[in-house]
Chains A and B, each alone.
Chain A
Amino acid sequence: DAKTTQPPSMDCAEGRAANLPCNHSTISGNEYVYWYRQIHSQGPQYIIHGLKNNETNEMASLIITEDRKSSTLILPHATLRDTAVYYCIVRPYYGGATNKLIFGTGTLLAVQP
């Protein structure tokens, strides 16, 4: 079962920042926080991951609280193409084939024109 809790849906105005929250209060010390998104039944797309420090890449920023029990994915300037289901997933650090991703129901982000 997924170990994260996300709101089922959110709206965001085009051009504004989208802030997607995720609770992972039972996260273990060796687990990373991963974010993926799925645009209308396409394959899930990797966005970003982090352990405890904030991370930024060309797609998004990830803010992880100091106690690591929650995080926020930030899309700085949302566009209509960012409308998708966003999944927050915790996964052990050391990787390996047994460390599959377990998808929950995610947050449906609707970017409004």
Chain B
Amino acid sequence: EPEVTQTPSHQVTQMGQEVILRCVPISNHLYFYWYRQILGQKVEFLVSFYNNEISEKSEIFDDQFSVERPDGSNFTLKIRSTKLEDSAMYFCASSDPGANVLTFGAGSRLTVL
């Protein structure tokens, strides 16, 4: 069964460092999303992306965040200057051309020290 692949599975970084989380969506999917989940809290929407541009972003997705689809397969989330409160699981998702079902990756755990 097709799946969304995320790397790294776990990253530890120092506060203030830049982090890039990578995702390989399902090949025929056109819509891409990033979510995050702080330990013990809800899964929160960050951003959606379609046709090489951001479709929607939440209040969480401020200027320290950016997304990019640098080639035909990868979808990345960059956090420019990490803060302690950025420690969380980050989930990438993609959806089919009808955008009816989102398929999520296994997540990348980010720990900021």
Contacts and interface: CB of A to CB of B under 8 A. Distances in A.
A, B in one complex: yes
A100 B45 contact: yes
A44 B95 CA distance: 13
B13 interface: no
Given A41-B89, A44-B91, A45-B104, A99 B44 contact: no
B33 interface: yes
Contact of B45 (A49, A96, A101): A101
A104 B45 CA distance: 11
B99 A96 contact: yes
Interface string A19-61: 0000000000000000000100111111001000000000000
Contacts of A49: 100-101
A104 B91 contact: no
Q: Is the interface of A mostly helix, strand, loop or mixed?
A: loop
Interface residues of B, number: 30
Interface residues of A, number: 20
Interface string B95-107: 1001111111111
A105 B42 contact: yes
A49 B107 CA distance: 23
Contacts of B37: 41
Nearest to B39: A41
Interface of A: 38, 41-46, 49, 87, 95-105
